[in-house]
């Protein structure tokens, strides 16, 4: 994390979990333990139909609500789609775009991801853009190239001004939902690679203000170590975000260490030592 230049973001991705009643129960459990976490942006990306009730449940807290996908279209004959404008109106502030489950299971291409990012930004949402290599790509040692292509495609039409609202989540596909977290060194290295890609396109100043999250079996035990990397500015958390205690523990892991303001002990004079 580098709190000087960019915000820390802890985002839960609930995927296909939780009914409206379960969302309410979760919000009560989380609110019971939550002080206002001023040290990070806390986000829950919930199923579409839960958005209005989640927004209501977290109204007086610092938890923002997000969606898990968005249409690239504004309106028209697109059965089953939900537009960015609709999400915004329902109270969402964030939206996950290009999650590997959508790329893999629903055939989302890099090009489509780019269009969805643009749709989200046009409506005033912050896209959380997911990029990451498969196990096969990792074994072929083409991780960096693959990520470069994904980042460039997702940001193809994004201006330097709009970049301020963009969040990137590095999620190695082999680490998602598997319990196999990337090592701290590996996650940190790819985070830095992503920032280099941003720097080449937008310059150092704009690039340093983008929050880059890690996702893939992040949990309350490994969060603090991952967040200590300079280019890991938060997490996108699946399984561990479904339980209020576990999710809160990760938000706590992002809390800065308290500043020790007790005055240093007075140096003892040599004659005192002899007394």
- Catalytic choice (99, 133, 193, 220): 99
The residues in 151-190 that bind ligand PGA, with binding defined as CB under 6 A, are 171, 176-177
We find the least distance from the C-beta atom of residue 168 to ligand PGA, in angstroms, to be: 13
**Residues 47/14, Cβ–Cβ less than 8 Å:** yes
Of residues 27 and 68, the one with the C-beta less far from ligand PGA: 68
C-alpha 126/C-alpha 155 separation (Å) is 13
DSSP one-letter string for 189-242: HHHHHHHHHHHHHH-HHHHTTSEEEEESS--TTTHHHHHTSTT--EEEESGGGS
Helix or strand run (H / E) with residue 45: strand 41-45
The residues in 211-250 that bind ligand PGA, with binding defined as CB under 6 A, are 215-218, 236-240
Start-to-end Cα distance in the chain = 49
Of residues 131 and 207, the one with the C-beta less far from ligand PGA: 131
Burial of residue 55 (number of CB atoms within 10 Å: 0-12, 13-18, 19+):
middle
We find the least distance from the C-beta atom of residue 235 to ligand PGA, in angstroms, to be: 8
**Residues 34/61, Cβ–Cβ less than 8 Å:** yes
We find the least distance from the C-beta atom of residue 221 to ligand PGA, in angstroms, to be: 13
We find the least distance from the C-beta atom of residue 216 to ligand PGA, in angstroms, to be: 5
Of residues 68 and 207, the one with the C-beta less far from ligand PGA: 68
171 is catalytic: yes
Residue nearest to ligand PGA (CB): 238
- Catalytic choice (171, 193, 220, 252): 171
Q: How many residues bind ligand PGA (CB under 6 A)?
A: 13
C-alpha 199/C-alpha 205 separation (Å) is 8
Of residues 102 and 195, the one with the C-beta less far from ligand PGA: 102
Residues that bind ligand PGA in the complex, under the rule CB under 6 A:
13, 171, 176-177, 215-218, 236-240
- Residues with active-site annotation: 99, 171
């Amino acid at each position: 994390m580098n709190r000087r230049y960019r915000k820390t973001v802890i985002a839960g991705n609930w995927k296909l979990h939780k009914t409206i009643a379960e969302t309410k129960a979760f919000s009560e459990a989380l609110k019971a333990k939550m002080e206002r976490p001023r040290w990070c942006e806390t986000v829950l990306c919930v199923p579409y139909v839960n958005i209005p009730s989640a927004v209501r449940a977290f109204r007086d807290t610092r938890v923002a609500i997000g969606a898990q996908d968005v249409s690239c279209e504004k309106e028209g004959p697109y059965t089953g789609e939900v537009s960015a404008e609709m999400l915004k109106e329902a109270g969402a502030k964030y939206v996950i775009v290009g999650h590997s489950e959508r790329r893999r299971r629903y055939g989302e291409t890099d090009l489509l991801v780019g269009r969805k990012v643009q749709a989200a930004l046009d409506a005033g949402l912050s896209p959380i853009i997911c990029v990451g290599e498969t196990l096969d790509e990792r074994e072929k040692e083409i991780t960096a190239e693959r990520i470069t292509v994904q980042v460039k495609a997702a940001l193809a039409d994004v201006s330097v001004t709009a970049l301020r609202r963009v969040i990137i989540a590095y999620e190695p596909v082999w680490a998602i939902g598997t319990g196999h977290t990337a090592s701290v060194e590996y996650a940190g290295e790819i985070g830095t690679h992503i920032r280099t890609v941003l720097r080449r396109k937008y310059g150092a100043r704009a690039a340093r203000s983008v929050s880059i999250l890690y996702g893939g079996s992040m949990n309350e035990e490994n969060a603090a170590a991952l967040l200590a990397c300079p280019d890991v500015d938060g997490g996108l958390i699946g399984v561990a975000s479904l339980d209020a205690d576990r999710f809160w523990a990760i938000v706590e892991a992002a809390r800065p260490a308290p500043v020790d303001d007790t005055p240093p002990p007075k140096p003892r004079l040599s004659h005192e030592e002899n007394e």
